[in-house]
Amino acid sequence: MLSNIGICLIILVLILSFLIIYTASIDLKISREAIKKNIYKLSLFQITFTILSFFTLIIGFINSDFSLINVYENSHTTKPFFYKIAGTWGNHEGSLLLWINILVLFSYLFLVFSHTHDKKFRLYTLIFQNILILGFLFFLLFNSNPFNSIYPIPLEGLGLNPILQDPALAIHPPLLYVGFVGCSIYFSAAMASLLSGYGGKSFAQSIKTWVKISWCFQTLGIIVGSIWAYYELGWGGFWFWDPVENASLLPWFAITALMHSLIVLEKRNTLYYWVIILCLSTFTLSVTGTFLVRSGILNSVHTFASDPSRGVYILIFLSLMIFSALTIFFLKHKKETYNFNLKSRETFILANNWFMAFFLITVLIGMLYPIFLDVLTNEKISVGPPFFNIVIIPLVVPFLALMAIGPKFGWIKSQKKIFNKILLLTLGAIVINLLIVYFFGKYSLLSNFIFIAAIFLILYSFLDIKKLINNKNKTELPRVISHLGFGLLVFFIGINHQFSLEEDFNLKVGEIKKINNYKINFEEIKIKESKNYKAIIGNFKLTNVEGNLVQYLNPEIRIYSNPETLTYEAAIKTKITSDLYLTMSNVSRSDYYNIKFQKKPFMIWIWISALMITLGGFIRLTLKKNED
Amino acid sequence: MLTKKVKNRILFLIFVFSLSVVAVIFIVKSLNKNVLYFLSPTEINQREDIQFDKAMRVGGMVKKGSIIINKKNIQFIVTDFENEILINYSGTVPNLFEEEKGVVAEGKLRDKNFFIADRILAKHDENYMPPEIKEIIKKNAK
């Protein structure tokens, strides 16, 4: 039943896409100011049917309708209600449907909200967006249909991987998708802009909001993903330079560069072609990343839905996308003259773009190198975190400094004297860094530089905030918050990295282990039955040297029944200054339990500062036109 | 003669070019230093050019009944059904570490039969097998 409804809705959306492309291309030839009413109507129908199809799938999951293969494979009647819904996008087919929903949603919203712009430009955007929609619809129908039915209908589903049954991971995909797929609209707009000749300032204004929206969601999505990794995966880390994480980082670098250079285009009406390149590459990178991971070409410790057959289709689609984008770009490309003064804001924004490009290329090389080597020499390798750390971290130092200084310069040519201020703040940063070294312990030369640069940025941002409060000026507020957030993020990650305590050992029940100033007493284990899992809960008493109780920690080993899986739930006690982190595992049912104990300073502050970066973006979205 | 503007531009281009050359050399060099080769016990046994001071990954199946645990570390044997290697590891193991399941260990070789791991890789999927291991098993099944 649901299967038929779903497929009908998808086919309706498909037909509507064709109709929109057809009517839009007819409307292109008519020289009238406004876009035909029909197109609005068709778009409205399109978005309605798309959302309906998604709800159909959600209903399938809620009712555990196992006549749908997708529901059968990824759900179970005993699963909590919330995760039944989240299960909808917790698998490849469902997430592709979500992907299409966002494509259509952005297509519709752009059509409605761009009415102040050129008609031809809007129509072309609509056409390109619908070509993208068609591409993904065909993919969905022929390769990954979430509405495929199964007969005879199974009585029970296979269940959702328990590790995905987590609130952070339930909201992580939708956030990331709004971020990644949101890029599609300015991919289309960039193509439209090239074809219709509607460039420059007005183009920047037309895509500004969409860039901001997708940037905010992408950033937030990445943060939520790493919070999940921190407390669910049990190694205590939050960033692993894993292919999946890298795939999400690539478009982020491109979009961050775009967000900055877009300001130059809007204010100074230059860098148009560079902005176009960034628009095109952001979405291309989103698709590349997602499907390198999905197709299983890149393998990672946390991909959940991979299947090689998808690779071919996506490869063809992607090459068509890139090829047509490049063709149009080179056909329409004209020479642009740049006239930048070294001491101007646009130069510093360009510097940001260089850094972003460097980071992007580094991550891309690190990600693709194993694939090339495998194809060429059949050697299996992986590129580990040290590579990324060595290449990227040294460049963070000048990057942080420029983040503080850059925004101080005005447009075109700045006469401002800020040399003394910089000197003073650098000194301040060095002193603070020395204090940290003096009180908490030494670290490497490079780390010293990073701390100094981060503190410099933080101090400078505080000065900016003070100034903003005095002037009651809101325009600069988002920038200051995001930059301050980034400075704090680097600072706290540095502190966390330098002063973390980590210890692995094996203990039997009743034994005591001494670590630095702590004593860990493994008091007992309890067994608890829950709705869809059985938990073995360890009780650890943590005392300090004097024997005073610090904390009880209760990590769990959960044995889920559908599908049968073990997961380890870390015991995490978050405090303002540090997190205590303890995981327990058991190997081959021996008496020994495998324990990992960590004390991680300022963990919560890493999340707070990362969220500040996003907050800046969201604040900028709320600013009125004249304030931005 | 070149005007000042042209001269500046040439200088700028040379600057950018040399900067990107340096960047690329830097990236490639650290890449070569930091790649981890993936080898099976058989490959370790047969190859002669193995570097003992470089980190690598070893993959295969955990041999049945081979896991020994004591206070400090865990020992187990990884096999590709042709050759075996003993692995010593101190640290926490991922939740899917089990006898007769696929495993990937990261660390250094002590000698051709003994490997000190400092990380055991996790995969959170009960049906998962690293593609490298899948290939090994396929090869040996022939």
The string of DSSP letters for A238-263 reads: S----HHHHHHHHHHHHHHHHHHHHH
* Together in a domain, A180 and A80: no
* Together in a domain, A120 and A218: no
- Is A441 inside any structural domain? no
- Is A421 inside any structural domain? no
Among A383, A566, A567, beta carbon nearest to B35: A383
pLDDT the model gives residue A412 = 76
Give which of B84, B95, B100, B86 is closest to B121, Cα–Cα: B95
Q: Is A486 exposed, middle or buried (0-12, 13-18, 19+ CB in 10 A)?
A: buried
- How many residue pairs from chains A and B have C-beta atoms closer than 8 A? 115
pLDDT the model gives residue A277 = 94
Distance (Å, rounded) from C-alpha A473 to C-alpha A404? 18
* Together in a domain, A136 and A235: no
Calculate how close chain A gets to B8, using CA atoms only, in Å.
12
Domain boundaries, chain B: 1-34, 37-141
- DSSP code of residue A35: P
Choose the final residue of a domain: A122, A146, A162: A162
Residue A258 pLDDT more than 60? yes
Among A163, A583, A590, beta carbon nearest to B69: A590
State which CATH number among 1.10.10.10, 2.40.50.140, 3.10.20.740, 3.40.640.10 fits the domain covering B37-141. Answer: 2.40.50.140
Segment A123-161, tens digit of pLDDT = 999 999 999 999 999 999 988 899 988 888 888 888 777
Q: Is A135 on the interface with B (CB under 8 A)?
A: no
Q: For this complex, say whether ipTM is above 0.90.
A: no
pLDDT the model gives residue A2 = 85
Distance (Å, rounded) from C-alpha B89 to C-alpha B91? 6
Pairing state between β B56-62 and B102-111: antiparallel
Choose the final residue of a domain: A357, A385, A416: A416
Domain holding A527, by residue range, is: 501-604
Per CB-CB distance under 8 Å, the chain A contacts of B67 are 587-588, 590
What's the rounded mean pLDDT across residues A174-199? 93
Instruction: At B123, list the tokens.
Output: 């995969």
Pairing state between β B74-79 and B68-69: antiparallel
- Is A449 inside any structural domain? no
Calculate how close chain A gets to B122, using CA atoms only, in Å.
6
Number of domains chain A contains: 3
* Together in a domain, A546 and A400: no
Residue A302 pLDDT more than 70? no
* Together in a domain, A185 and A81: no
Distance (Å, rounded) from C-alpha A491 to C-alpha A450? 8
- Is A128 inside any structural domain? yes
Q: Are A122 and A111 in contact (CB under 8 A)?
A: yes
Among A299, A358, A566, beta carbon nearest to B23: A358
| Element containing residue A574 per DSSP (H, E) | strand A571-574
Per CB-CB distance under 8 Å, the chain B contacts of A370 are 35
Query: A233 or A370: which carries more pLDDT confidence?
Result: A370
Choose the final residue of a domain: A139, A162, A185: A162
Q: Are B84 and B63 in contact (CB under 8 A)?
A: yes
* Together in a domain, A186 and A88: no
CB–CB contact A587 B55 (8 Å): no
- DSSP code of residue A147: T
- DSSP code of residue A532: S
* Together in a domain, A153 and A215: no
* Together in a domain, A136 and A178: no
* Together in a domain, A206 and A139: no
Range name among A13-27, A118-132, A499-513 with the lowest pLDDT average: A499-513
Residue B127 pLDDT more than 60? no
Helix, strand or coil, per DSSP, at residue A288 = helix
Q: Is A435 on the interface with B (CB under 8 A)?
A: no
Give which of A109, A113, A108, A221 is closest to A168, Cα–Cα: A221
* Together in a domain, A155 and A281: no
* Together in a domain, A129 and A42: yes
Residue A591: pLDDT band by 50, 70, 90 thresholds? confident
What's the rounded mean pLDDT across residues A1-8? 90
* Together in a domain, A94 and A229: no
pTM: 0.89
pLDDT the model gives residue B130 = 57
CB–CB contact B35 A382 (8 Å): yes
Residue A166 pLDDT more than 60? yes
Per CB-CB distance under 8 Å, the chain A contacts of B13 are none
- Is A462 inside any structural domain? no
Residue A625 pLDDT more than 80? no
